Amino acid sequence: MQPCYNKIMKTYIVGNWKMNFTIGESSIYLHKLLKRISPIKGIQIAVAPSLIALQPLSLQLDRKKIKLCAQNCCAKDFGAYTGETAVAQLRGLVDYCIVGHSERRYVFNETDKDIRDKVSACVRNNITAILCIGETESERTFGETADVLRDQLTSGLSDIAKEDLGKIIIAYEPVWAISSVKGARVAVPDDISASIDLIRKHLKDTFGKDAENVPVLYGGSVNPSNCGAYLTIPGVNGLLIGGSSLIADQFIDIIDIAKRVK
């Protein structure tokens, strides 16, 4: 019998703007989204602008419609760490923080320990961590997907107790499907479904029945033409969106499709 994964929860639509938009452009874009989006029961929309835009955007935000998400953080709460931003400094600005995105792992060489510490910092500061995991093309080719996902989950959540699971979201982003990666290809639902089952099984083996309430998102070349198929995969509770979140019409189309699907 197929587990009833989607009894949970909200559907999460999270737009990761990465290193795009100036503060002014971010403000104009958010204003456009706020004008065209209404609060939707059961769907949580969030955007992750650049760090420098978080504070000004927080002043124009309607949190009934959209929440703010940070793209990264420092695991330390304070101290002599030039150029870093503590999770404690993000309190009051954001509800979510992306941790362990593949660009942080493979471009900036963040270690499993770095990511584990950031997840813990988010939880202790009452900000929901969106923990990104996913295998590379090479790891998939050599049949290592299950080991990679298990290792990244085990490490990232090793300091998390059952009582903390309400502040955890998992985002499965296979590196080979991220549009900014050279040679990326679009993942088909069957590919994703198998990995989601692995993630769900590992969460249940680690945390028991409580893990059923952990949202799992999919990310990787998501756009209006494929998002509906991704959202119908059992165990998928939303989407982490890159390029399409930078185009208002596409992002709003994805939200509308999520509303119809869920």
Q: Which residues are part of the catalytic machinery?
A: 101, 173
Please tell me what DSSP assigns to residue 71: S
Q: How far apart are CA 199 and CA 192, in angstroms?
A: 11
- Round the CA-based radius of gyration of the chain to a whole number and report it: 17
Structure tokens at 141: 């080719």
How far is residue 208's CA from residue 121's CA, in Å, rounded to a whole number?
A: 23
What are the φ/ψ torsions at residue 172 (nearest 5 degrees)?
Answer: -90, 115
Q: Which amino acid is at 140?
A: R
Helical segments of the chain, H only = 23-36, 51-60, 87-90, 102-106, 112-124, 137-141, 145-156, 189-207, 227-231, 248-261
Contacts of 79 (CB under 8 A, 6+ apart): none
The 3-state DSSP class for residue 216 equals strand
Would you mind telling me the total number of residues written for the chain in this entry? 262
